[in-house]
């Protein structure tokens, strides 16, 4: 459990805490939510078991997050995923009456998130430019504007805006790892992997906990439901 600068305790939920809660209340879950939570917790457990291997932990935390939010979408591109993130975050923040997401972002990791978002190596237009994709010569201008939006969101304490920008960056890092665009345990991207893993380790359990607390909310149909043939 971490302590915020204000003195308020920030609960760091872990797999065993959430699994115990799931067992107590899962009979109240609709089938689709039950499947989401079951899958999400299984990968959260695996992420915690990979402690000490940040690359593996990050990937497993991301799969856990993916199990929580993913639905079938017509646009599977970066922008389609971003739209899915935004809708999911909107629902979570609306239900987060105790401001747990706010506390993680604004009290637990403000400096880490600031450094993370100021890192051009996890900014998608930077890589578009370096891969000679047309239309991205202005990546530096886009980057500067993105940082300006981030600072505005900080000033306005816009949790959803920060979450969306943060997960834009995390998604690029996810792609680098999953698609073989990075070396395992490489010193080149070590800081962003470590920070990304720590941030996901706090946020993903809170996301799942909020979903379990709100079983009547429409969390969507899982992308790959169980099919009995």
pLDDT at 72: 63
The H or E element that residue 183 is part of is: none
d(CA 84, CA 67): 13
Structure tokens at 200: 């996901």
pLDDT value at residue 19: 98
For residue 9, the cross-strand partners are: 3
The pLDDT, as a whole number, for residue 101 is 94
Q: What pLDDT, on a 0 to 100 scale, did the predictor assign at position 41?
A: 98
> Is the CB of residue 40 less than 8 Å from the CB of residue 19?
no
Give the burial class of 23: count Cβ atoms within 10 A of its Cβ; 0-12 exposed, 13-18 middle, 19 or more buried: exposed
Count of all residues that appear for the chain in the document: 229
Q: What is the pLDDT of residue 227?
A: 79
**H or E element that contains 9:** strand 9-10
H or E segment to which residue 192 belongs? helix 190-213
Decide if 166 contacts 89 (C-beta within 8 A): no
pLDDT of residue 224: 82
3-class SS of residue 3: strand
Tokens of 95: 């239900």
CA angle 217, 215, 207 (to 5 degrees): 85
Residues of the chain where predicted confidence (pLDDT) is lower than 50 = 1-7
Interatomic CA distance for residues 3 and 10, integer angstroms: 6
């Amino acid at each position: 459990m971490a302590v915020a600068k204000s003195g308020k305790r920030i609960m760091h939920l872990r797999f065993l805490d959430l699994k115990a809660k799931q067992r107590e209340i899962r009979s109240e879950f609709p089938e689709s939510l039950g499947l989401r939570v079951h899958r999400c917790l299984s990968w959260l457990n695996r992420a915690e078991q990979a402690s000490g291997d940040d690359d593996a932990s990050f990937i497993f935390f991301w799969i856990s997050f993916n199990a929580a939010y993913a639905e079938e979408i017509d646009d599977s591109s970066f922008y389609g995923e971003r739209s899915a993130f935004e809708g999911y975050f909107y629902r979570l923040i609306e239900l987060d009456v105790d401001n747990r997401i706010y506390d993680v972002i604004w009290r637990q990791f403000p400096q880490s998130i600031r450094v993370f978002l100021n890192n051009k190596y996890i900014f998608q237009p930077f890589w578009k430019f370096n891969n000679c994709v047309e239309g991205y010569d202005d990546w530096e201008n886009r980057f500067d504007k993105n940082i300006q939006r981030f600072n505005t969101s900080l000033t306005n304490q816009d949790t959803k805006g920060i979450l969306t920008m943060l997960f834009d960056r995390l998604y690029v890092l996810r792609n680098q790892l999953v698609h073989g665009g990075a070396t395992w345990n490489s010193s080149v991207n070590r800081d962003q992997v470590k920070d990304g893993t720590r941030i996901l380790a706090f946020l993903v359990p809170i996301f799942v906990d909020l979903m379990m607390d709100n079983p009547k909310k429409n969390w969507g149909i899982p992308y790959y439901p169980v099919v009995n043939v």
